Structure 1
Amino acid sequence: MDVLSFIGVIIGFAALLGGNFLEGGSWSSLVNGPAAIIVFGGTLGAAILQTPVSGLKRALSLFKWIVKPPHQKFKQGIKHVVSWAIAARRDGLLGLENISEKEKDRFSRKGLQLLVDGSEPDVIRHVMETDLIVAEQRDNDAVQFYESMGGYAPTIGIIGAVMGLIHVMRHLADPSQLGPGIAVAFVATIYGVALANLFLLPIANKLRACIKQQSQYRELIIEGIIAIADGENPKSIEMKLSGYLH
């Protein structure tokens, strides 16, 4: 579980609410149902409008990475590759067949199967890099759902503020209602800007970091598989892949 995600959200919103309190404002002044409906509903609707169904499903499935990101164990990955190289040197490439059947990682399993089938190194690289690029692009397209929400939220917040001011203008004859009315109108702007900068955009950036780390791990697997196909020494493979630990 990624504790930093919880800490970041708590610090961000605590700073916002705490600063408002220290300035003499009440927390209740930041609570406004119509503003929340305008900002949250409008932002979500705009993002859904621009996102295809497959991208939306993938975006929702990636959301759990904020709390439980897919940590890539690079040291363990190198150990696996070295063990495959030792098995290939001892039993030949066909000796990897049983290992490939037991491998849980789909990407690694595909590479091992290509080795067992006797594919040329260039073919293996092309197939695996294509898989990596397609998967990375699919995930980055899904992350764009959260980025787009982060872009729309402040604008929708301004729309909410303008709508609130229009409502305030109806009470110009009663000056006592102007101050509170204007304050409530600008709550929508606060919602939009806070939602974008304290939640949506950080989520998108964190997901992109997870995707980048996953791609680097898969690059490690590709280089290891190619080295095995070229018949390199297991010790040499380990030294080559150790660069990914930095």
Structure 2
Amino acid sequence: MDIATILGLAGALLLVILGIKLENVMAFIDMPSVYITVGGAVAATIAAYPASMLLNTMGVVKNAFFVKKITHIDIIKQLVEFAEQARREGILALEARAADINDEFLKKGIQLAVDGTEPDLIKDILSTEITFTESRHEEGTKVFDFLAAMGPSFGMIGTLIGLVLMLGNMSDVDSIGPNMAVALITTFYGSMLANCICLPIVEKLKAYSRREILIKELMLEGIMSLQSGDNPRIVEQKLTAFLQPGLRAAAMKDRNQR
């Protein structure tokens, strides 16, 4: 689980509550305003996207809370080991190793290489999978982007409803202040929904999407090198080019110690 996501979302809400002061929190709780703002924003989002896309979003959004522990360096080490074995025993020796690979993308690529598939075809198949993975991730972020936009919009609608009701009862001077406060709560809820929940999740999803796509591109480069019969050191040099300079040194040091 990504503790940073939990801490960030909880921290944002907690700081707002502390800013309000605990004794005044109940003044900010109004269920009709929740129905208008949160319910309206969610309903509009459901209306805007097909059910299949919304269901896919639920699968994508878990990436904001649950992180795959696999790292770029782990993948490089594994691919270099494959290259060393293929150089000693031939690429067919990797067939037994493929069954133990946890990542489905890497497993598919190794199996295609072992089966003697043409390099261009391997690249086309895996590149297409990368493209559609990226597309699925974009769908998830679009849904939350839309929800973030709808929150303030329905907050404003709720505020307008409250103002209309308030102006319709101007004869009761004592009720104007409380009614105005209730009218503005929907705007508050809309801003909270967008800025404390939806937009942080969108940015986290984008970051994880970039990370996953980079790992898949690294895997693709390694698979193509294996299929070409490249020297293990050449494979390592190609793959470490995907890393930040500081991580490159760490990866090389780890290899030298083995």
In which range does the TM-score fall when normalised by the shorter chain? over 0.9
What residue in structure 1 maps to residue 254 of structure 2?
Answer: none
What residue in structure 1 maps to residue 215 of structure 2?
Answer: 217
What residue in structure 2 maps to residue 66 of structure 1?
Answer: 64
Unmatched segments (≥5 aa) in structure 1: none
Deviation of the 1:206 alpha carbon: 0.6
What residue in structure 2 maps to residue 103 of structure 1?
Answer: 101
What residue in structure 2 maps to residue 16 of structure 1?
Answer: 16
Deviation of the 1:168 alpha carbon: 1.2
1:40 aligns with 2:38: yes
1:80 aligns with 2:78: yes
Kindly indicate whether the alpha-carbon contact (under 8 Å) linking 1:111 and 1:124 is maintained by their aligned counterparts in 2.
Answer: yes
Deviates more, 1:62-71 or 1:180-189: 62-71
Kindly indicate whether the alpha-carbon contact (under 8 Å) linking 1:59 and 1:145 is maintained by their aligned counterparts in 2.
Answer: yes
User: What is the one-letter code of the residue matched to 1:228?
Assistant: L
How much identity, in percent, do the aligned residues show?
A: 32
Q: Report the TM-score when normalising by structure 1.
A: 0.94
**Superposition RMSD in Å:** 1.5
Deviations 1:4-26 (A, max 9, x none): 1122123312232222239xx81
Deviation of the 1:49 alpha carbon: 1.0
Distance of 1:169 and 1:69 partners within structure 2: 51
Equivalent pairs counted in the alignment come to: 244
Deviations 1:195-233 (A, max 9, x none): 101110111111111111000000010000111111111
Unmatched segments (≥5 aa) in structure 2: 245-258
User: What is the one-letter code of the residue matched to 1:148?
Assistant: F
User: What is the one-letter code of the residue matched to 2:5?
Assistant: S
Deviates more, 1:60-69 or 1:224-233: 60-69
Distance of 2:209 and 2:167 partners within structure 1: 49
Deviates more, 1:9-18 or 1:188-197: 9-18
What residue in structure 2 maps to residue 131 of structure 1?
Answer: 129
Kindly indicate whether the alpha-carbon contact (under 8 Å) linking 1:93 and 1:118 is maintained by their aligned counterparts in 2.
Answer: no
User: What is the one-letter code of the residue matched to 1:6?
Assistant: I
Distance of 2:55 and 2:167 partners within structure 1: 43
Deviation of the 1:150 alpha carbon: 0.3
Of 177, 185, 196, the match for 2:183: 185
Q: Report the TM-score when normalising by structure 2.
A: 0.90
What residue in structure 1 maps to residue 248 of structure 2?
Answer: none
Kindly indicate whether the alpha-carbon contact (under 8 Å) linking 1:70 and 1:210 is maintained by their aligned counterparts in 2.
Answer: no
Deviation of the 1:163 alpha carbon: 0.8
